[in-house]
Amino acid sequence: MEQFTAFSDMEKRRLDQLICADREIHAPKEDIIAEGAHSGHCHVVLSGLACRYKLLPDGGRQIMAFLIPGDLCDAEIFILKIMDHGVAAITPTTTALIPAEAMKTLLRETSSLGEALWWGTMTDLGVLRERIVDEGRRSAYVRIAHLLYEMLVRYRMVELTDGNSFAFPITQTDLADATGLTPAHANRMLQKLRADGLIELRGGVVTVIEPDLLKDAAQFSGTYLHLDRAHDRTSIGQRAGDLV
Amino acid sequence: MEQFTAFSDMEKRRLDQLICADREIHAPKEDIIAEGAHSGHCHVVLSGLACRYKLLPDGGRQIMAFLIPGDLCDAEIFILKIMDHGVAAITPTTTALIPAEAMKTLLRETSSLGEALWWGTMTDLGVLRERIVDEGRRSAYVRIAHLLYEMLVRYRMVELTDGNSFAFPITQTDLADATGLTPAHANRMLQKLRADGLIELRGGVVTVIEPDLLKDAAQFSGTYLHLDRAHDRTSIGQRAGDLV
DNA sequence: CGGCAGGTTGAGCGGATTCAAATACAGTGG
DNA sequence: CCACTGTATTTGAATCCGCTCAACCTGCCG
């Protein structure tokens, strides 16, 4: 959230306080929030990797978003009765629980935090729209490239990259579920990306060998991530803004 | 927005006041807001039909959402610098302009309106996620059925249906751009829907002949529209909730 | 050592695309 | 009232991307 605006010390302290209060640890494949659930608190990912997903009548699964540290799992809990989708851990994941009440009052009191939450939600909308473009109009090869490049940018934002490498330990089945492909085809496209020398993929670590070429291959334009408001770009995760 | 919660008379008056202040009329194919733009006010659709879209380098177009009366075109204008996508009129469309300032102060003053805006945004997120499932995992036939059924429900919410008919004068090219298909194939699937006796389509008016069958064919589950909060369902557009 | 999950590979199929031409249709001006 | 024009819809045939479904391989863990 701090991408959007600088927080005052007091605001930071309040956030820390909320985050430290209560935590959960989730094992891989475990639901953090199930579809149809309504809990009294909000989950924030502190470490690990999770995903939003929906199951289909025919047994298929569609992953709609990956959640990395700093992401809010269920902002809708403020307002809506039930979750219209599930959130599951992919790797072991720790989350902080913030009471919905606390969140609501927080929004009323301070405007910085409220605006930051709006920014996060608006950015989520942008990411979803981009994914629709992906699945609607881009080829399998481009889709995978796009997903990987987007994850590189997002991991940079939270300073979880090592150069052009980042830990992204998803199975190819997950990748397929996220891109709307079959595992077999996702595999072939992944191989092509490697053969083209754009990326490397070993032991759950993605290394982008040619960021510029990958960006081109992905037809990536980062405006939808709205990093332009970053208050101090030089300090933000090795300048994620340079990638967009 | 009134789907979510009843407004007080004062709140209604304030809304009316804002909406009456300033208006725009847009011709078909005209941009209401262009990609990359940033205006100082928010657009609300009063009549007509518009769409969110993105253009692709290869000349293709992806429609990400249809906007019907009552929908907000550019909620992001509060927070974000620029639009990451465009909004264009499909039929002649009138919009009300609300100064971003007025909107911001409105949110701080009254909590009902603020929550309603959150509800609208959260619902938008849900609709986008459902579209991702659509394009990722559903066949062309199901996709078209789903889109049409969703529009039936949404038009009911704003009481713009006549029985199971509603005016939805989009071209098949638009339909194809929205579903991620080619016009030729969209046409064929549309014909199949008609041949199967599920819908009728004449002069820009969609008539759903067999709502239940269409819903099944669409694999539709309306939870993502979050109509459960409707404060007085019997009064809401011929009970749109009954369709979900 | 066996079991299992994930990754890789191949052959054949089919849904959706491409591209083209034919047809319907509404609006316009003669 | 009818040609004329441009746009939208319909149809056909060939092609291709991505799917299906199967077998096979690899590494890891008990």
In chain B, what are the domain boundaries? 1-112, 138-244
Tell me the pLDDT band of A230, cut-offs 50, 70 and 90.
low
Tell me the pLDDT band of B231, cut-offs 50, 70 and 90.
low
- Residues A140 and A189: their CA atoms lie apart, in Å, by 7
pLDDT in tens, A214-228: 999 999 999 999 987
Least confident of A224-238, B89-103, B142-156, B206-220: A224-238
High-pLDDT (> 90) share of chain A, %: 71
pLDDT at A235: 59
Tell me the pLDDT band of A176, cut-offs 50, 70 and 90.
very high
Range A1-112: architecture per CATH? Sandwich (2.60)
> Contact A36/A81 with Cβ under 8 angstroms?
no
- Residues B225 and B183: their CA atoms lie apart, in Å, by 28
pLDDT tops 60 at residue A233: no
pLDDT at A241: 79
Beta-ladder partners of A26: A93
- Residues B158 and B163: their CA atoms lie apart, in Å, by 13
Average pLDDT over residues B63-91: 95
Least confident of A142-151, B49-58, B75-84, B136-145: B75-84
Beta-ladder partners of A97: A43
Q: Say how far residue A198 (Cα) sits from the centre of its chain.
A: 22
Its pTM stands at: 0.94
The answer for residues whose C-beta is within 8 angstroms of residue A14's C-beta and 6 or more apart is A106, A110, A113
High-pLDDT (> 70) share of chain A, %: 94
Cβ contacts of B80 on chain A, cutoff 8 Å: 119, 122, 226, 229
B interface with A, Cβ–Cβ below 8 Å: 4, 36, 52, 54, 56-57, 60, 62, 64, 75-76, 78-82, 84-85, 108, 111, 115, 118-119, 121-122, 124-126, 128-133, 135-137, 179-180, 219, 223-224, 226, 228-229
Q: Which residue has the tokens 């989708």?
A: A85
CATH of domain A138-244: 1.10.10.10
Tell me the pLDDT band of A231, cut-offs 50, 70 and 90.
low
Beta-ladder partners of B174: none
Going by the DSSP 8-state scheme, the letter that residue B72 receives in this structure is B
- Segment holding A124, helix H or strand E: helix A111-137
Residues in contact with strand C, defined as Cβ under 7 Å from any of its atoms: A 171-173, 183-184, 187-188, 190-191; B 139-141, 180-182, 184-186, 188-189, 203
End-to-end CA distance of chain B: 18
- Residues B50 and B165: their CA atoms lie apart, in Å, by 19
- Residues A198 and A208: their CA atoms lie apart, in Å, by 6
In this structure, the number of other CB atoms found within 10 A of the CB of residue B55 comes to: 13
Query: Measured between alpha carbons, how far is residue A136 from residues A62, A86, A131, B35, B127 in Å?
Result: 14, 23, 8, 19, 15
- Residues B204 and B163: their CA atoms lie apart, in Å, by 16
Query: What are the start-end ranges of the H helices in chain B?
Result: 9-21, 100-109, 111-137, 140-157, 172-179, 183-195, 211-217
Q: Which residue of B has its CA nearest to A122?
A: B76
| DSSP 3-state of B66 | strand
pLDDT at B21: 74
The yes-or-no answer to whether B1-112 and B138-244 have a common fold is no
End-to-end CA distance of chain A: 18
The token pair that represents B30 in the structure block: 């005209």
Query: Measured between alpha carbons, how far is residue A48 from residues A67, A77, A172, A213 in Å?
Result: 9, 22, 18, 28
- Residues A54 and A34: their CA atoms lie apart, in Å, by 10
- Residues A221 and A140: their CA atoms lie apart, in Å, by 18
The token pair that represents B49 in the structure block: 């039909």
